[in-house]
Structures are given as C-alpha cells and as structure tokens.
Chain A
Amino acid sequence: MKVSYRITAVLVLAVSAFVVLYTGSSYKSMYKDDVIVPGPSVKEVKMLSDYFEGLKDTAGDTEVYVLEGEEPGGTLLFLGGTHPNEPAGFMTAVLFIENAVVEKGRIIIIPQADKSGFTANDPQEASPQRFSFTTAGGNRRTFRYGARATNPLDQWPDPDIYVNPSNQTLSGSETRNLNRCYPGRPDGTLTEKIAYGIMEVIRKENALVSIDLHEASPEYPVINAMVAHEKSIDLASIAVLELELEGIKIRLEKSPPTFYGLSHRSWGDYSDTWPILMETANPSQGRLRSKTNEALVLTGKDPWYVKAQKLGKLYVPFDENGHPIEERVGRHSSSVQAIIRAMEYFFEPEQMITVSNVPGFDELMANGFGNYLNEPAK
C-alpha cells in the first residue's frame, strides 16, 4: 500500500503538536503561584517592587510579608527560596508566615526570593515539579520545587564569564544565581535587580539581623551550618550554643572576606544589617542521589547516600532514616528562633523581637510538617 507523503507529513506533525502541547502545558503549570495562607501576625503583604520600582511587572517581583507585634521593637528579615531547589528554606518561611505570633518587633519574610526560579526546573536533573503535604484538616497543600537560579526565559543569555556587582569573577551561569549577585545593580540583569531590591528592603526597613535560608548536598562541606559575617559571628555563636543545648548540632563558619556577592558577605558589607546564612542537608539536590522524586524531597531517604556515608564521602551523618523535610525545616526554624532570642545580648531592650507559636525541631519531628499548615481558603 502506498501512502501519500502529504498524509504522513500531517501525521508526524500532529504527533509533534501533541507533544508540544502536552509538555508545554506541564511547563506552563509551573507559573501557577503557590498558595500561602497568612497567619495572625501578618499585618501587610508588600511586593519587592514597593522597595525598588525597577522590579515592577517583572518575573523578579515577589511577595514581602510583614509580621508585626503590638509592641514596637527591632526588625529581623529572613529569606526562603533564594535557591528554589532548596525547599526547606521556602517551607520555613511558610511555617513562620502561617503560624508565628509576633508580640514585639517585626519579622519581615520573603518566602520566594528568586520567584522566577520557581517557574522552571533545572535541566537534566529530573527534579519533581511539586511536593505536597496533608494538613490537619485533610486538605492537600502543594508547593513548587524550582530551579537553582532565575529562569533563562526571564534572563538570557548567560555570559561566558560573569563579573558580579562586587567585582568577583565567576562562571557564566552564576549570572542567574541570586546568591552571587549581591549587592545587586539597579540597572543590571533581572537577578541583579532582585538582589538590589532585597538590599533596599534591608536598608529601608532597618533590619538589624538578616538571615538567608539554604540547603546543600550532603557531600558539600558547608552543611548543617551557619555562616556568619564578622558583625554577626558572636550572635551566631550564642545561637549555636543554645541549639547545642537543645541537641541540635550545627557548625559555625565565619564568612570568608572574599566571598563577594554572597548574602552572608555582601549584606554585611553594603548595609548595617548583621547577616547569617544557614544550610541543611538536602539529598534531592545532591550529585550522588538515586531516584529523584517527590518522596526524596520529603523523606530525604536515599540508599546511595547511605552507601556514600559508609565510604566516608559525606559531611553529614546519613543512615536509612535519611533527612526528612521536618528535620530540615525544624533545624531552620529552631535556628531562627535561637537567633531571635540571642539578640538580647547584642541589642537594646527596645530593639528586641518576641515571637511564639512557631514549631521547632522537636515539634516538627513529632507531628509532621503538614499539621502546621493552615487550611486553604475554600
């Protein structure tokens, strides 16, 4: 039987069109915003463009949640989602926004610092697009697992070599890495504008302490750690001691003076804030991981990492229990609260912050993360 080549042309194009529409709808679905249900202390939800107008109507504009107590006090800023493939930072931000009761002072939270990065996955990583939790009321809450850096659709092309705003020379792809772009440039790339916007939040809101929440591969040396600028190293030391008493082992590292462009360095160099960066162990972003899926993101269990631990290749303990999201968010949550408490040794009484009702490490490990998420609006 002889089939006309025009018919086969239509057939193969129909298959192509189906694949384009099917995969395209999957890619486009990443643009649907995550739902955050503000808790009792959220007084205002601003946008980053309120601080730096250059971000208005761009993919870099993102929500800034202001949690404020009845009594005036100091201001602390913290960021989740600097790297959207490090979900514990984002989830810790959500935990505070939905639960925290601030009695004194203000906590400003940017849960998705590089929001553009939440609209795509990293190529060739096979990362899941989303992960979900079940709330106490039985509802499902789903959040995006994004890419490490700004979506190339929003910022392209990458240069061969990137010279960041602090004059540090880096590989080209770092041009889209928010945590290499500080203090930002008001007339720079999208990522540099986001960095500049965050610096403006720090400066305009007079944030005494600023924290950047991250995760790292289990084979990365800086892990289960706080990295502190020389201004904030004593504050971080007190927090680490307190965490040690609670049974949470955390390493303290001093921010290297030449790590220009990173939050723990440049926030302190270019503003009055005291910066601290934190890392937990996330096997879903590691190089040695096995099957990459939602379960790995949530349970942190991975047989290949167990093997790597036995071979002495890791910087964190790793057994069959893995590093579940509850442990990673718990470490961040307890650490942020320990820093807030430690502020009393370094700032005036009228600059204190008092916060309650945020579950820490033990509560999250005992009850699960989903139990602390608010029910979504009908």
Chain B
Amino acid sequence: MIWLTWSYWLICLGLLVALLLEVFREKNFWKQLSAAMVIIPLALRVLLWK
C-alpha cells in the first residue's frame, strides 16, 4: 500500500501549494482566513506529523 500512501501525500502537497497561492491571490480577508485554516491540517499531513 506504499504507492497509495505516497499518492495521498502528493495530493495533499498539491492542495497545500494551491491553497498557499490562493491565499495570496484572494482579495477578500475572510476567504484568505478560511484558506489559511484549511492549510493547518493539510500541512500537518504533508509533514507526516498527524
């Protein structure tokens, strides 16, 4: 199942990068904040901390 784990990790990493870019593109503060909150669990997943 290692391939599945790494596929999942790559998807998380892709989403994380997309969200980071989105925070800088977004002009509405509340939407920036929402994206920043979603980043927290994704970053913990990508770092394999949780």
Contact = CB atoms under 8 A, between A and B. Distances in A.
Interface string A135-168: 0000000000000000001001100000000000
Contacts of A367: none
12 contacts: A5-B26, A5-B27, A5-B28, A5-B32, A12-B29, A16-B40, A19-B40, A20-B47, A23-B40, A27-B44, A156-B4, A156-B8
B43 A20 contact: yes
A120 B44 CA distance: 14
If over half of B's interface residues share one DSSP class (helix, strand or loop), that class is named, otherwise mixed; here it is helix
Interface residues of B, number: 24
Interface of B: 1, 4-5, 8, 20, 23-24, 26-29, 32-33, 35-37, 39-40, 43-44, 47-50
Ordered nearest first, which 5 A-B pairs have the shortest CB separation? A12-B36, A24-B49, A16-B36, A20-B43, A5-B27
Contacts of A6: 24
A313 to B, nearest CB: 34
Contacts, number: 56
Given A13-B23, A24-B50, A157-B5, 13 more contacts: A5-B27, A5-B32, A6-B24, A8-B29, A12-B33, A12-B35, A13-B36, A13-B39, A15-B36, A16-B43, A19-B40, A20-B47, A23-B50
Interface in A11-29: 12-13, 15-16, 19-20, 23-24, 27-28
